[in-house]
Amino acid sequence: MTPRRILIVGGGSSGWMAAAYLDAVLNRDGKRVADIALIESPDVPRIGVGEATIPSINHILSAIGINEIEFLKRTDGTYKQAIKYINWLDGEGESYYHAFGRFRHSPVDSTSMNWLMSDRSVPFSETISAQPVICESCLAPQMFGQWTLGTRLPYAFHLNALKFADYLCEIATSRGVQHHLDHVTDIEMTGEGDIAAVKTKSGAHIEADLFIDCTGFAALLIEKKLGVDWIDCSQWLLCDRAVTVQVPYEHNYPGYVRPNTLATAVSAGWIWEIPLQNRRAWGYVHASDYISENDAEKELREFIGPIADPFPVRSVPFKVGYRAKSWVRNCVAIGLSAGFIEPLESTGLYLSDLAAVMLSEHFPLSDEMEPLAYRFNRIIANRFHEILDFINMHYCLTRRNDTEFWREVQRPERINDRLKAKLDFWRIKPPSPADFEDQFFPGQPNTPLPSGGLQGDHRTPVDTSGVFSLSSYEAILYGMDFLKAECDQWFGPNRPASQVAAGIQEKLRVAPHSLPPHDLWLKRVVGMPEYPVSKQ
């Protein structure tokens, strides 16, 4: 068969992830299904603020054939076993973990109900996983030798997104993906309404059968040329900007590398801390309606302390929403051009990962694209709204009333209808595995998705737990004291102490002797430099 021509417009992590993954999956075992090219402008500045991923990234790395150790070396990467949330409930120093793993000790897992019937003296996350305590001890999820601790600890990564894109570019081009460094000046259309070719500043004319728009929020193809609507979701997620700063370890090294992300709630949003092998990165994700950029920078610097004083901040505006359709005609939007949900649960790279995987599964071998786009768009819409619900939940369960921002996010109109139906149902019956078979609960409106004037599947989205499972929901719900009043009513105020399963206790007993400190593992295995420990 004649290979189909794919042109990816725009580089960065999304563009090169799509290029490398599609090439690895479509052009394998001696077959060449697609001729892939990527064009990116040398004039568009790249933004690198440090990224965090979720465990699904391991699939795409494996499919491309990327060795994990080499990946960590090339991206300044570190391990991420969890997110620790600080000050989200009352703003008084409380914290909880969203860890990736769950210990199961029997076919019928009664851990959650046992915890609800207890006095909550042990945080919920510590009753289902050893990883919160392992993270507090700054231990790696790997051993120096052969793994001997039973079930492996799940993990994701922190990484330098710019270096990740460069690494993917190197891999993809070495396998035959064409790379054009040029600026797109015009987009040619066919009489039927498809994209025919792009014209460039250098005079090139590049034709393709399928175009992938990875031009970020500029959305040169999907919006500027095809006119596909952007659906705004800022009603439910108010943050629209981040100010970021990076402190290299040469200037200040604390003596450890956390194996988790920190997310600390502050006056008008939250601050991330992401550790790499050579620096720590902070970012204040905030709502510009509730704090000025200057005040956000001031609050961020006060939060970090004097170690950040010599280093400039970078402002990163963003918008929360999604494209009415990600695949229209012969154009597929991937990355920011398709949609974005704020960075709270590290799903930015995941949505690009998902789109590349789904496109490979729905790849058009002929000009008949509409049925494939129909299913692709449904899957992407379901997953986007699943993530939207989950992130929305972090905010609406807060009890903080110390600032206008935190009072606002609790208002009923800031809770989307799908999430409200879930929470109302779970106040009658705690969440359980059956709830994630097909999430459609009493009171959930059957409201079609906005069509943007386009044909397709506009049914209300269904949460299939494709990315956030029961354990993830429970970690946030119970970390935010959900069902406390109901449990007092159901089980009485005087309840037994919370219990930790024997399997978790055993793993925690041997972990300090078996798992090395995260920074030590990075130094010995991937070559992280030695840094003098700073006094501050």
Q: What is the DSSP string of 395-451?
A: HHT----SSHHHHHTTSGGGS-HHHHHHHHHHTTS---GGGGTSB--TT---PPPP-
Q: How confident is the model at residue 483 (pLDDT cuts 50, 70, 90)?
A: very high
| pLDDT score for 58 | 95
Cα–Cα dist 253/250, whole Å: 7
80-154+241-317+470-536 has the same fold as 4-50+160-231+321-380:
yes
Dump the DSSP string for 85-96: EESSSSSSS-EE
Spans of all domains in the chain:
4-50+160-231+321-380, 80-154+241-317+470-536
Alpha carbons within 13 angstroms on the beta-carbon side of residue 306 total 3
Do 337 and 216 meet the contact criterion of CB atoms below 8 Å apart?
yes
| pLDDT score for 105 | 67
What is the number of other CB atoms lying within 10 angstroms of the CB of residue 177? 23
- The first and second tokens of residue 497, run together, are 């102490």
Cα–Cα dist 320/285, whole Å: 12
Do 94 and 174 meet the contact criterion of CB atoms below 8 Å apart?
no
Question: pTM to 2 decimals?
Answer: 0.96
Tokens 């945080």 correspond to 123
Catalytic residue among 31, 73, 80, 484: 80
**Residue range 37-53: mean pLDDT, rounded:** 81
**Residue range 73-101: mean pLDDT, rounded:** 96
| pLDDT score for 109 | 82
| pLDDT score for 439 | 78
Helix (H) or strand (E) holding 52: strand 51-52
**Residue range 354-358: mean pLDDT, rounded:** 97
| pLDDT score for 108 | 75
Cα–Cα dist 500/23, whole Å: 46
pLDDT at 66 over 70: yes
- The first and second tokens of residue 288, run together, are 């510009």
| pLDDT score for 247 | 97
Q: 4-50+160-231+321-380 belongs to which homologous superfamily?
A: FAD/NAD(P)-binding domain (3.50.50.60)
Strand 82-86 and strand 261-266: the pairing is: parallel
Helix (H) or strand (E) holding 119: none
Q: Which residues contact 229 (CB under 8 A, 6 or more apart)?
A: 323, 324, 450, 452, 453
**Residue range 296-311: mean pLDDT, rounded:** 97
pLDDT at 316 over 90: yes
**Residue range 82-89: mean pLDDT, rounded:** 98
Do 4 and 33 meet the contact criterion of CB atoms below 8 Å apart?
yes
pLDDT at 107 over 80: no
Annotated active-site residue 80? The verdict is yes
Strand order in the sheet with 205-207: 184-189, 195-200, 205-207
Q: Is 198 helix (H, G, I), strand (E, B) or coil?
A: strand
Top CATH class of 80-154+241-317+470-536 equals alpha beta
Residue 409 corresponds to which amino acid?
Answer: V
pLDDT at 47 over 70: no
| pLDDT score for 306 | 96
Q: How confident is the model at residue 24 (pLDDT cuts 50, 70, 90)?
A: very high
Dump the DSSP string for 229-252: PEEE-TTT----EEEEEEEETTT-
Q: How confident is the model at residue 466 (pLDDT cuts 50, 70, 90)?
A: confident
Q: Which of 288, 315, 287, 282 is nearest to 300 (CA)?
A: 282
Q: Is 464 helix (H, G, I), strand (E, B) or coil?
A: coil
In this predicted model, what pLDDT tens digit does every residue of 205-261 receive, in sequence order?
Answer: 999 999 999 999 999 999 999 999 999 999 999 999 999 999 999 999 999 999 999
| pLDDT score for 234 | 97
Q: How confident is the model at residue 536 (pLDDT cuts 50, 70, 90)?
A: low
Bridge partners of residue 40, in order along the sequence: 181
| pLDDT score for 327 | 98
Residue 215 corresponds to which amino acid?
Answer: T
| pLDDT score for 1 | 72
Q: How confident is the model at residue 44 (pLDDT cuts 50, 70, 90)?
A: confident
**Residue range 365-393: mean pLDDT, rounded:** 95
Q: Is 113 helix (H, G, I), strand (E, B) or coil?
A: helix
**Residue range 11-35: mean pLDDT, rounded:** 95
pLDDT at 104 over 90: no
pLDDT at 445 over 90: no
What is the number of other CB atoms lying within 10 angstroms of the CB of residue 312? 9
